[in-house]
Structure 1
Amino acid sequence: MLIDSHCHLDFPDFAEERDEIIHRAHAAGVELMVTICTRVRRFEQIKEIAHNYASVFCSVGTHPHNAAEEVDVTAEEILNLSKDSKVIAIGEAGLDYFYDNSPREEQRAVFRKHIAVARETGLPLAIHTRDADEDMASILEEEMAKGEFKFLLHCFSSGRDLAMRALDLGAYYSLSGILTFKRSTELREIVADLPKDRLLVETDAPYLAPQKWRGKRNEPSYVVHTNKVLAEVHGVDEEIMAAQTTDNFFRLFSKVPRELHTRSEG
């Protein structure tokens, strides 16, 4: 069993063949998927998809790219939406200093708001971070001192300093197709030093397809290839790594019933 812990099934790339994509995921052994919210104002679309498929769960939150347009979304609003039975996480929220699509001050403010919601609900926070390692580490340390919360560094591709500082705070790390890229040697070296009980796999589909399909549309079934490379990095069989990341998923996303298995869909 594998789980795609982070994908975007609501994106237009999948609109015309969502059933087929989910069916292919099941055929590949990917039994559960988490479709991630990037705009609270579009949460209803996310929720509808999650409720249409037994094997799909979702999150609620604002991506840092969209922080400026949703700076007025309140913590209470996010918290209320998170009560839906299919919502198992907050986010994705965080910092993106590579594109800077929203002012950094607003990114930081919106991110801290999501941390507060994660702390209050007990749901894990899916974090997006790019070219913001020092600010990310500092904010996580400051906020953890105010009260504990669970978090996942999604699509982890940051430096060693953030990886280790986050580890001290209880971080989980989700690895995407980036791990399979030929030039990701440094990332693989960092991931080799992370505890196996903190690792998950994801696609971030439709983005970041593994090396075999690099530059093409990604989809949840491809998470199998990231798991293969992750297993190689840690020197274990693919089946062992799949079981480990699945255990880690259920430990982190504790709102999901552990006994849940896919049904006939798609």
Structure 2
Amino acid sequence: MIDFHCHLDLYPDPHAVARACAEKGLYVLSVTTTPSAWSGTSALTRGASRIRTALGIHPQLAHQRKGEMAIFERLIPETRYVGEIGLDGTPEFKRHWEDQMLVYGRALDMCRAAGGRVLSIHSRRAVTPVLDELQARPGVGTPILHWFSGSNRELARAIEVGCWFSVGPAMLRGDKGRELTKRMPKDRLLPESDGPFAQIDGRAAWPWEAGNVISELEKLWAQPAAEVELQLMENLSRVGRLAGPASAT
């Protein structure tokens, strides 16, 4: 099982959730929302070889946490994974657009200077500028657009740019999410829960519920569940190789 985008540190009892992930043999990308949270979140997963902690600064917090970019720069050599970073164009956060652009651009610059990273990227109502910044900086690494919700045209551009995608049960509940997922390259797709923010049956999704996407992909791809699961595991292995030997899964 795979969950390539969840916030382990934001569950009410993160230690218990991390232990459960390890006991279930779950491959997890535990994303962070601030650079100052990375060390503590990494400590949750000591001894859990299948859990990686990504270094992030969430776009919704960019105006409050832009001063932590020095921490981001200090920590980036410690991990091959970066996230959650990106841009958010919803009205509530568009007023902080200048800070978002500053933080996202600096994060990408640091990824490129560090030799490239695997990046989990937020792009809600901001796909075009997210891709513009990526294309302006070749060598940043492997971008994975989490919970993509753009247009078909933006999706086609993201695919051309070389983006990967992570999709979860919440995204696949709607017709648009299913249609977008159907258009994504099978060999550049990974499951996610986005827990505890995403919800299933009115409560926070657990990391191990990211695997619920398999039944939906079985229908979208017209393939047996075993073949879908094999494809997703092959994708995970490929991402591990792209991340580099220090973070091989």
With structure 2 as the length reference, what TM-score do the two structures score? 0.88
- CA, structure 1 residues 222+247, in 2 after alignment: closer, same or farther (shift >3 Å)? same
| Greater relative contact order (Cα < 8 A, sep 6+) | 1
The structure in which a higher percent of residues are helix is: 2
Map 1:71-110 → 2, pairs under 5 A: 71-74=66-69, 77-84=71-78, 87-98=79-90, 99-100=92-93, 103-110=96-103
Residue 257 of structure 1 corresponds to which residue in structure 2?
248
Residue 244 of structure 1 corresponds to which residue in structure 2?
231
Map 1:107-118 → 2, pairs under 5 A: 107-118=100-111
- CA, structure 1 residues 115+19, in 2 after alignment: closer, same or farther (shift >3 Å)? closer
Residue 220 of structure 2 corresponds to which residue in structure 1?
233
Matched, 1:175 2:175: no
Distance 1:218 1:187 in 2: 17
Map 1:1-266 → 2, pairs under 5 A: 2-15=1-14, 17-18=16-17, 21-22=20-21, 26=24, 31-74=26-69, 77-84=71-78, 87-98=79-90, 99-100=92-93, 103-121=96-114, 122-144=116-138, 147=139, 149-181=141-173, 184-209=174-199, 213-253=200-240, 254-255=243-244, 256-258=247-249
In structure 1, stretches of 5+ residues that fail to align are 259-266
* Letter in structure 2 aligned against 1:171: C
* Letter in structure 1 aligned against 2:152: R
Distance 1:148 1:82 in 2: 13
With structure 1 as the length reference, what TM-score do the two structures score? 0.82
Q: What is the RMSD of the two structures over their aligned residues, measured on CA atoms?
A: 2.2
8 Å contact from structure 1 (residues 65, 102) kept in 2: no
| Structure 1 residues 162-211: Cα deviation after superposition (integer angstroms, max 9, x where no partner) | 21111111100000122331xx21221222122111111110111223xx
- CA, structure 1 residues 22+141, in 2 after alignment: closer, same or farther (shift >3 Å)? same
1:62 Cα deviation after fit: 0.3
**How many residue pairs end up in the alignment?**
243
- Deviating 4+ runs (over 6 angstroms): none
1:20 Cα deviation after fit: 5.6
- CA, structure 1 residues 70+218, in 2 after alignment: closer, same or farther (shift >3 Å)? same
